[in-house]
Structure 1
Amino acid sequence: MHNGLCEVIVTKDREIAQQDALIEEIAQRLEQVGVAFVDFPVLHEDGSNRANLNSWTVNCIMVPYLLTGELFSCISAYWLQLMTLLYLMQTGRSVAFPGHSLGSGLTPAAAKELGLAVGTPVGTSLIDAHAGGVGVIESVPASESESKGDDKNTICHRMVLVCGTSTCHMAVSQRKIFIPGIWGPFWSAMVPEYWLTEGGQSATGALLDYVVENHVASPHLANRAASQGISIYELLNRILESMMNELKAPFLAALTKDIHVLPDFHGNRSPIADPKSKGMVCGLTLDKSEKQLTLLYLATVQGIAYGTRHIVEHCNSQGHKIDTLLACGGLAKNPLYIQEHADIIGCPLILPRESESVLLGASILGAVAAKKYSSLHDAMKALNAPGQVIHPSKDPILKKYHDAKYRVFQELYEQQLSRRKTMAEALA
């Protein structure tokens, strides 16, 4: 540290591929001797020295810095976890679960800065995605929860999608499950006493924006949407409905039978973990109309959903039993996006009653720290609530259609690998 200020280095997935491969190997070896990863500690605003079990610290260090003047340097989350392991062994500092009340609450200096009372409870923090998980993962109808039997195991059948610029895919389990291409497992990183497994797509909302905004028809569509007081995505969804009726398509998804998208425009985070993977579009013509943009938009949504299906299937093949999805974030407000995910993955998708799940998750942490609930589990059960439940279509023809497009989706990546090899050999 340099006078309390140290540069924070945040590297992108593609820039740390070699580091990740090494750390993945080290993680496996540590796991074999019973050592699990925890997170690098940050100094909390209450002055305590407890370590945070949150699996990513990059987004958690700025608030403690502003309140305490202390900042740790970091390169990547895996390195953070290794440093933490050594740090905790050397110092003997304790580890706190999410929402744990730290020290004696706010220090006088922090309280003055925030305009709050000295001693106001401070709970162990989480990053935004994990707070979203806390705010949504118990948002299931009572019938859904009761049908699964064992209360402790029920939560393990769910995956939370925090859908924004990128998407985080989070599932918990009662035992350690190491999965190639998936981050974790992280002990108590989101839900205390459960192992967190986290997949992700590097660009989802950002990809849709890129595809739509870079099309020649986009400015005109944006003006039309503005004149109607709706978003451009609402307008695109309406155009798709009109096209389906006009073309007498058997279902909306069939409109993209000739156009396919591999959504790896910013690499593949999970489950392939290939930062060199590139986005692909198959089926382009010279058409530059609004309808062509609409079809490209739908094909991109479907490509993202096939990516999530790939993650779910990969996790289940390694020991998870995910059969229910819960979604929050900006993309979860798009009914087309949600229905395509339900149809393509074949799972019911639940939206929480509270749309701002990240804020709810943070509030739950505060409620636990303030002793309003005896545990994070109790607080989640009390404060999470289900909203709309979107079920996958029961149409066997639609299922057959998506299975076929999913095979094309997988083949696009295989073709890319083959062409990558061909060109590498040509330049060797």
Structure 2
Amino acid sequence: MEPHFSVASNAFVQVYANLQDDSISRPYLLDIAFEKEKFHLKLRAQARLWSSLRKTIVYLFLDASHVESLVVSDEVAPPDIANTLIKQGRCTTTSEITCLQILLKQHGTILAPRATLQKKPAIREDMKALMRLSRCKTFKIYIPSDSIDKEKLSGLCNALASSSVRPAPDVVKTLYEGRGSNIVTDVDDLWTLAPVEGPPSYDAATAAGASAHGSSGHSDTEPSRGPRAPGKRQMSPEPRQTPTKRHALMQKVAPVAWEAVIAAQAAQLAMLNEQVTAQAVQMAAYNTQLAALREEMQHSRRPLMVDAGSQTEPAVPVSEHHSSPAIPVAQQHSSPALFPNSASQASTIENSIEDRLIMLEDGLIDEQRIRRSLNEKIDNNDERIKRTLDVECSGLEHAVTELESRVEDIENDFKEDLRQELSLELQTKLEEFIEFRLEDVEEVVKHDA
């Protein structure tokens, strides 16, 4: 067995765990190391510190005390995991993905820096998923094949199977540049506010400018600050923002173009509603006219009745010497020969009414089609307005999030600059006070001598 080798280092992986009520599928960075029969595995998730807004890392740490077995599985990666790795450019096909199945004999260890983390929704969800993953009995790691040494991985799997691997607790001490870490058993422990550090203590040995040549160690989460000349104030990388500038910055984050879009869409919608109302009124008029025509048609189809009392033609005189009984006038005028055009007129009226009914029905069909078209336009406009508002709201939310982050950065820079300025002024005053007291002491000594 080699004294030391790295099975995988800083490899982008997808971890999947199937739970009883849910499943976990998250991307992480993976480190697997094997050193003198000691094995450890680290899954890294990113977070942000509450104090400095710098990125940091939270680990899921596993060694031989946690892992029962590590097996290379022939299982093909699920489509969503394979698509994620392919889109990230980690591989090109599913055949280039290796599946590692890990069986735990006890819960994994969550390690975090000795600082408070930001409690943002995304970070909180990532930390919850990492905590749940540490308590799983088994989970799978999908890793690109070119990111892992398969020969060395095979040796590690055999060593774990033969129980010849020992725990590696010393590795924990090397994390976070040796400054120490906290073991997290509850996610809420990550958001506990840490005590605020006071200003640095005064050191007479470095008061006269020795700090200008001193160097501070680099941090995992915060870049080191360069040397500063005595009596000079170190400015932050970003220009200092006054409240007026900060207010102007907040007002210029995103233009309010969506108001014009909403106004235009509302005007178009109002115009369509007016058209629909006008069409409804016109359809009501058509319906009234159609009812009148139908009633007229019914009257025209009734048999023609002739009232004898209304006849204006002179009656046929009855001879006084005629021995036969007189014929009633009604019988004399009841012959159809007296009304030769009645049937043709009724037929003409009926045909005219039928033509008008056909025209009205065609008009109603056209109006219904127009109304359906207008309703479809209204629905399409509503959907377009909704999509536009969703896009604008999403952009506004993103802009607000960026603005909040920017404001936090500015406030932190302002606090840091103010703290440095006050510290420098305090240091200068202390130096002046000490020099003044030394002069008094020298005068007293000279006077006594």
Report the TM-score when normalising by structure 2.
0.20
Report the TM-score when normalising by structure 1.
0.21
The structure with higher relative contact order (CA 8 Å, sep 6+) is: 1
Compare the two structures and name the one with the higher strand fraction: 2
